[in-house]
Structure 1
Amino acid sequence: MTHAARRLAFACSIVLIIPLGQARTPVASGTGGAVATISEQASQSAIAILDKGGNAIDAAIAAAATLGVTDPYSCGIGGGGFMMIYLAKDKRVITVDHRETAPASVTPTLFQENGKDSDFDATLASGASVGVPGTVRGWHEALSRYGTMSFRQVLAPAIGVATKGFEVSENFQRMSAGSQKKLQLFSSSSALFLKNGKPLAVGSVLKNPGMARAYRDIAAQGQKAFYQGPIARAIVEAVGKPPVAAGVRVRAGAITLADLANYEARIRQPVKTTYRGYEVYGMPLPSSGGIAIGEALNLLEGHNLKSLPRASAEHLTMEASRLAFADRNAYLADPEYVDAPVAGLLSKDYAARRRTQMNAERAGPKVLAGDPYPFQNDPSVPQRPQAARLLADNAHTTHLTVSDKDGNVVAYTFTIESWGGSGIVVPGYGFLLNNEMTDFDFSGPHPNVPEAGKRPRSSMAPTIVLKGGKPAFTVGSPGGATIITTVLQTIVNHVDFGMPMDKAINAPRLSQRNDAATDAEPGFAGSAQALALEKLGYKWRAKPEEIGAANAIVFNADGTVTAVSEGKRHGVGSALVQKSAN
């Protein structure tokens, strides 16, 4: 058998072993590799790759590609993301930044019309909202540097799911309904995801031959198939002349073939802090997630949370988040455009000073940014806090995590921004384009205004935590800016309150981002927990919504692993291990 024939046989064998429609298990313990995602098919894809001898990087990309089929409103090759990798042999953590970039034609006034900010909702569903996608290039960098398999091998499971289809779940239908108005604007999108203009029925089978075609091209030709040639031309056409339905007009964008051909991923060092004996590794800029979580943990380290009543501990957690968000909003942006004071923000001494602004007894008012520059030890950083008008953060992303038998670990968050991204399905290729440009601040002066080639600030926060130099757990979540508070709360639940990871993830979630009101999930208001916090001055946002959809892996002292996904949110997640402990 030739090498090419062996690869084809390998690919076909993977497609055949992925079952569809199995009941999901949100917690699994055992040995060997492990995976947690929000999709049963995606988790099965990862296990299939691990069973074939692939490592955690290979398996993570297989899971991600499958999520692009089964969770297309949240992620896919039309977007970008941040992958964090622990390399067991080298005992180091590295990150792959494949965040979308602004096209070369962009200026800081992109979202200004007649001296005013463009309408935010109209901008969301437009060609102008689309950034240059980075996902495929990120997968290429991760595979070529740290993986063991080819695109042909890791994309095979997703090609199988896209070709054979998957059953529409209640959760998928809910997401379709949430994106319905946006999808109806574009003929290619409504043709794929709607029937007679309405979401597909629960139980119906959704096939995506266009996405299978795109994956097959990438499998055969590598990342060049996406950034050059027919797919690239189709992206440029879809952005420049959006495939709108009859009578619809939306603003066009200006991505060029050169923008796509010139796109580069970045290999970056993670940010790091310590917390109660753990080493916490987070995503660096242009994601603000790792820095904001690190600063909040540094603030909380000065309090003995486990000795306090639960309401008091939760109050301090939210006040730490409030201060961290004030700093995040003032300073953080793409590090290739802004020299942000990261070292100062993550300084323990800065946290000690900033901690004096935390009121242990009452919910605080909106606070101003602090001054981390005296703690920066870098006289070349001239910027000082600037007020920023905050735009609504979109909350629809996905996170997955994978480990392998050799101890490699991946925590990966990627996205197309809001549910359904821009709403534009690339004709002939079945994937939605992002609307990531709306993560820029529409007006300045501000570090995060649009600029040519710039990466918009993100809140994504894939996190890997070590203890004694060895992996202890990993966690991450979707949720826009609530990603930061979800990961922070989960770490506090697990480390400070001693909750098993499944309890830590399933606990009620709150999100305080330096606002007058605090986000709480449906059913929280009126609970004993809520009433105790109300006595401390908390007010809840009027419209409660589900917060996040976390996934985690815990590395147990006995050498086993426990994969954990959501037990109730986002339709229940899927956790699998190679060899069950039962």
Structure 2
Amino acid sequence: MIRLTLRHGRRLALCALLTTLSLPAIAQQAILEGERFHPQEGQHGMAATSHYLASKIARDVMQDGGNAVDAAVTAGFALAVTQPRSGNIGGGGFMLISDEESGDVIAIDYREKAPAAAYETMFQNDQGEAVSELSRYTHNASGVPGTVAGLALALDKYGTLSLAEALAPAIRLAEEGFEIPPRFANGLRDARERLSQWDASRAVFYKEDGSLYTAGETFRQPDLAATLKRIAAHGPREFYEGKTAELIAQEMAKHDGLMTAEDLAAYQPTLRDPVHGTYRGYDVYAMSPPSSGGAHIVQMLNILEGYDIGEMGFNSARTIHVMSEAMKRAYADRAEYLGDTDFVDVPLEGITSKAYADELREQIDMGRATPSDAIAAGDPLPYESNETTHFSIADDNGLAVSNTYTINFSYGSGIVVDGAGFLLNNEMDDFSAKPGTPNAYGLIGGDANKIEPNKRMLSSMTPTIVKKDGKNFLITGSPGGSRIITTTLQVVMNVIDHDMNVQSAVSVPRIHHQWLPDEIRIEEGISPDTIGLLEAMGHTVSQQDAMGAAQSVLIEDGHYYGGADPRRSTSSALGL
């Protein structure tokens, strides 16, 4: 059993950690040789994003006197240019803002909404079966986008820059172009067949003769630059009521899409109360419904608080066992209860209560796995209510931002709005196309998440801020579809339970269980002996691809530490 005490450790500590945990060579190289992957200390702030250009832009904003919200919004728009597979203005997401001065933690919900003409069975065939192609790769797969309105709301309420100032770097990157990194080129190569089905998508992402862009070439997006310029000149409502809205409506009408100009004009982001819980003396704030993330990260932490996780050891068989048992029970509740609280009652107070966690913990046998078919949603009364981008930013004025946004799949629906230069999301797949039928991530949904007009679809996005004694401590979150919640959970546990520095916390191997299918998914690097012990307990263990990309910031004793996740080769953490 190994207890990791690496919070302030640097290269030697990381070398020891990597040797012990047998991380894949590519991750070791990224952590040890890539300067941008080292925990970096700053005197004035830290920005950790999934693209080095966005991290540099965010850092420069704070260096020039802007606050963390200014930096976050500017980075968000920059990522829409440099990372079109996941950064976006055609999607939506959630932002958490923590203000130490006021003590407030604000949740901004800019999740997409179903069009007014949407209906419950729209993705079913005549036999009543869910047809995944309809909810993923058609114009009706797109919900009404929220990113532009959400980022503008954050800037207006909590920033100091004008929207035009925040958009300027993104406009420059779109107009003048940027050097293509290998991950960008490889992504377009892999998505070539899907993107090339649409004339506008093919025109944006491939050369005139249809050939591929290669790493090192300059990539320009003139249509996207023009769209961003219009928004800068006329404000966020231009996207929803101006020429951009007209282009979206025309795109929809041309392909029998349900989204209309009226849907766009009616869209508004909303402010919500974040989910709040405690874990070993820390305050944990995370996104509330229509995200399921906050409710279930608090639920799982409540269950796990009853075990001495640090003494049990990082990724030991006993630790993974209790984590997976907690995960199963949380995801069973997710399938039953979670949805948009503007439409359904979610038993949020019950799900996040310590008493309910005590009941669930009593069900866990330390020597034996509970089969998923023996687990059903609990009774958490009373009632109230895979390609994504996360970034974390903090400044020295007590502001911290955790933001996760998405267009769902890599490149969303694959459909670029003709003349506007951006991809449409396929978030409608996050609804329950048919209750009880798994979505693209294998998640089961119920009536609480059925399709209804103007409803926000359920999400797993989990922007999270952990505070200690009223001060911002850990800002984290991740992409990863159904694995977002468990990835974020493990970063929090790695820092609090295993005393890791933030770079180690985001780099080490992860595990995941989502109730159905009944298996523990693991990354490379879990000991074969540990796997054997888990299988002896009755667990099915499946090693699969890497999970998530948890860009994170840790603040301790006035120092800012950035953790850039090596699972994305362009990740970067930069301090002032």
Aligned counterpart for 1:398 among listed residues 369, 389, 399: 389
Counterpart residue number, 2:336:
330
SS of 1:563's equivalent in the other structure is strand
Aligned equivalents of 2:378, 2:328: Cα separation in 1: 15
Shift of residue 161, structure 1, vs aligned partner? 1.2
2:90 is the alignment partner of 1:99: no
Aligned counterpart for 2:418 among listed residues 398, 405, 427: 427
Counterpart residue number, 1:83:
95
SS of 1:424's equivalent in the other structure is coil
Q: Count matched residues.
A: 528
User: Over residues 517-553 of structure 1, what are the superposed CA-to-partner deviations in whole Å (9 max), with x where a residue is unaligned?
Assistant: 22223x34774443443333332347x2220011111
Shift of residue 180, structure 1, vs aligned partner? 2.2
Shift of residue 423, structure 1, vs aligned partner? 0.6
User: Over residues 66-94 of structure 1, what are the superposed CA-to-partner deviations in whole Å (9 max), with x where a residue is unaligned?
Assistant: 11111111121000000000122211101
User: Over residues 427-451 of structure 1, what are the superposed CA-to-partner deviations in whole Å (9 max), with x where a residue is unaligned?
Assistant: 2221111000000001236110110
2:572 is the alignment partner of 1:574: yes
User: Over residues 255-276 of structure 1, what are the superposed CA-to-partner deviations in whole Å (9 max), with x where a residue is unaligned?
Assistant: 1111000001010010111000
Counterpart residue number, 2:350:
344
2:225 is the alignment partner of 1:227: no
Structure 2 counterparts to residues 54-69 of structure 1, below 5 A = 54-69=66-81
Counterpart residue number, 1:261:
265
Shift of residue 363, structure 1, vs aligned partner? 2.8
2:320 is the alignment partner of 1:314: yes
Aligned equivalents of 1:526, 1:499: Cα separation in 2: 19
Counterpart residue number, 1:238:
251
Counterpart residue number, 2:302:
298
2:359 is the alignment partner of 1:353: yes
Shift of residue 572, structure 1, vs aligned partner? 4.6
Aligned equivalents of 1:79, 1:277: Cα separation in 2: 36
Structure 2 counterparts to residues 415-454 of structure 1, below 5 A = 415-444=406-435, 446-454=447-455
Q: Does the 8 Å contact 1:354/1:370 carry over to 2?
A: no
Counterpart residue number, 1:277:
281
Q: Does the 8 Å contact 2:531/2:541 carry over to 1?
A: no
2:216 is the alignment partner of 1:203: yes
Structure 1 portions without partners, runs of 5+: 1-21, 243-251, 382-394
Q: Does the 8 Å contact 1:465/1:473 carry over to 2?
A: yes
Amino acid at match of 2:549: A
Q: Does the 8 Å contact 1:322/1:512 carry over to 2?
A: yes
SS of 1:471's equivalent in the other structure is strand
Aligned equivalents of 1:289, 1:462: Cα separation in 2: 8
Aligned equivalents of 2:61, 2:466: Cα separation in 1: 25
Aligned equivalents of 1:53, 1:161: Cα separation in 2: 22
Shift of residue 139, structure 1, vs aligned partner? 1.2
Aligned equivalents of 1:143, 1:416: Cα separation in 2: 21
Amino acid at match of 1:537: G
Change (3 A) 1:51 1:264: same
- Aligned CA RMSD, in angstroms, stands at 1.8
Aligned equivalents of 1:323, 1:516: Cα separation in 2: 12
SS of 1:427's equivalent in the other structure is coil
Counterpart residue number, 1:480:
481
Structure 2 portions without partners, runs of 5+: 1-33, 436-445
Q: Does the 8 Å contact 1:37/1:575 carry over to 2?
A: yes
Q: Does the 8 Å contact 1:178/1:419 carry over to 2?
A: no
Change (3 A) 1:555 1:457: same
Amino acid at match of 1:499: M
Counterpart residue number, 1:371:
378
TM-score (norm 1): 0.87
Q: Which moved more, 1:195-204 or 1:448-457?
A: 195-204
Counterpart residue number, 2:158:
146
Aligned equivalents of 2:539, 2:351: Cα separation in 1: 26
Q: Does the 8 Å contact 1:238/1:424 carry over to 2?
A: no
Aligned equivalents of 2:419, 2:225: Cα separation in 1: 10
Aligned equivalents of 2:246, 2:433: Cα separation in 1: 28
SS of 1:112's equivalent in the other structure is coil
Shift of residue 179, structure 1, vs aligned partner? 2.4
Q: Does the 8 Å contact 1:127/1:240 carry over to 2?
A: no
Aligned equivalents of 2:251, 2:427: Cα separation in 1: 16
Aligned equivalents of 1:516, 1:460: Cα separation in 2: 22
SS of 2:191's equivalent in the other structure is helix
% identical aligned pairs:
39
SS of 1:571's equivalent in the other structure is coil
Aligned equivalents of 1:313, 1:23: Cα separation in 2: 32
Counterpart residue number, 1:464:
465
Change (3 A) 1:520 1:49: same
Shift of residue 122, structure 1, vs aligned partner? 4.6
Shift of residue 152, structure 1, vs aligned partner? 0.6
Q: Does the 8 Å contact 1:177/1:198 carry over to 2?
A: no
Counterpart residue number, 2:16:
none
Change (3 A) 1:199 1:275: farther
Shift of residue 286, structure 1, vs aligned partner? 0.2
Aligned equivalents of 2:554, 2:526: Cα separation in 1: 31
Shift of residue 198, structure 1, vs aligned partner? 5.3
Counterpart residue number, 1:563:
562
Aligned equivalents of 2:299, 2:210: Cα separation in 1: 46
Shift of residue 187, structure 1, vs aligned partner? 0.9
Shift of residue 345, structure 1, vs aligned partner? 0.5
